[in-house]
Structure 1
Amino acid sequence: MSEGIELELSELAGEIALEAGELARRRRSEGVRLAATKTTLADIVTEADREVEQLIRDRLRRARPSDGFLGEESGAAATESGITWIVDPIDGTVNYAAGIPAYNVSIAAVRGTAEPEAWEGVAGAVFAPALRELFTAARGRGAWLDGVRLAVSVSTPAGALLATGFGYDPSTHDGDIATVRRVMPIARDLRRMGAAALDLAYVAAGRLDGYFERGLKPWDFAAGALLVQEAGGSVTRIDPGSARPMVVAGGPDVHGRLLDILGAER
């Protein structure tokens, strides 16, 4: 990888995320049309998801035609350059469709393939259009929000402010709620925003102390995980070979405490 490529890819991710996010915001203001459901009736796709992903894919193909691609809506393309882009065009689609502003565009560049255990995060951008916040990271160069360098929280004397999410399959809800019960003794409170990349960005910014969730797809966490790591935190996947691996993220202390509790589920 050439010198300075991390910043170059981070800037590209940020530029495209801004354009894609503006398209998503504009389409939301025009009215949302549902295109399909995915795994369950609650797991929806909007026409905007597909249009926004196509914009991102076209911009990346034009800028870096030899790179690979994995998008939530349009599938995968193998890499020739060694770089693969992992994209969620609208993370938090249910929020988006309902008019809740907690949604985002998530774009990550990784070195390697689209398999999480095989990649190294290189650059990422998470843009929340309704909030006008662009989080970016470049490997070895830090994580940033509007020119301010981000840092994870390091002290939680009142208990940790945590976030999580539940899967769309109702059969998994009991297990997810049981996990929350196990974690609550170390928590001050719990947030459930419905947008994994935004949760991870908030951990990087120190707004949340930690985050855990089962069943995330690569596009849900690729950019957000790099944000957390570049802000001084840690991200671990528990049971990566299972049907619903768990992502655990936080500052050093909270991350360690979450692993002590959740690692016992293995």
Structure 2
Amino acid sequence: MKEMNENYEESKSLVIEGRNAVLEALRSGKPMDKLYVLDGCQDGPIRTIVREAKKHDVILQFVTKERLNQLSETGKHQGVIAHAAAYEYAQVEDMLELAKSRGEDPFIFLLDNIEDPHNLGAIIRTANLAGAHGVIIPKRRAVGLTATVARTSAGALNYTPVARVTNLKKTVEDLKKQGLWFVCADMDGTVMYDLDLKGPIGLVIGNEGEGVSRLMKENCDFVAGIPMKGDIDSLNASVAAGVLAYEIVRQRLG
């Protein structure tokens, strides 16, 4: 099932096939979600593509010819297929500049390995409506900006910057130096109504199954719990993001 979902999402990204097409896309700086290369192929053009991909920190996956044939839309992949992002990624600095231009304290979402494109799209939509200045996602073990994400965001992706970073922990550390402090959602945290969530803030939302990773939790200034009165113990990731985001909005409106 996981492979089927992966194939479906990949089909919703921009597929680039063939050595020349992939190499030119890489050299032009087009953002890539993933690059598939024929395992064991060592000829000159492939080595050039791999070298260029590493230079741009593109995720590389070496696969069999059968897998490439399965992924190919043209049947002429020449041993290499790239999946480019459906939308351009922003820079974290763009979010800080946006906050500054609005005369507001920065409010940024950081997503710790969200894998479901519908969740990512819904969170981007919530971020836009809550007045957040951007969404940061990790490069690995997380969904990128596929067409499904764009569709689920209901247009919000056109207005809300999304940055993709190699190291989420380092990004948190860098943003702390810019004056932001961080709160993450966790069922064992302090009830969110008892926390001061005003000022420059980053809201960290965890993976659908495992929640916020231990490393990210340790780097957060506060851990916020959402009061729950039902018979189950967790909310969907995008719903949790919405609940916490609007508590931040309520406090910012003051």
What TM-score results when the alignment is normalised by the length of structure 1?
0.28
Relative to its length, the structure with more strand (as a share) is: 1
What TM-score results when the alignment is normalised by the length of structure 2?
0.29
Determine which structure has more spread, i.e. the larger CA radius of gyration.
2
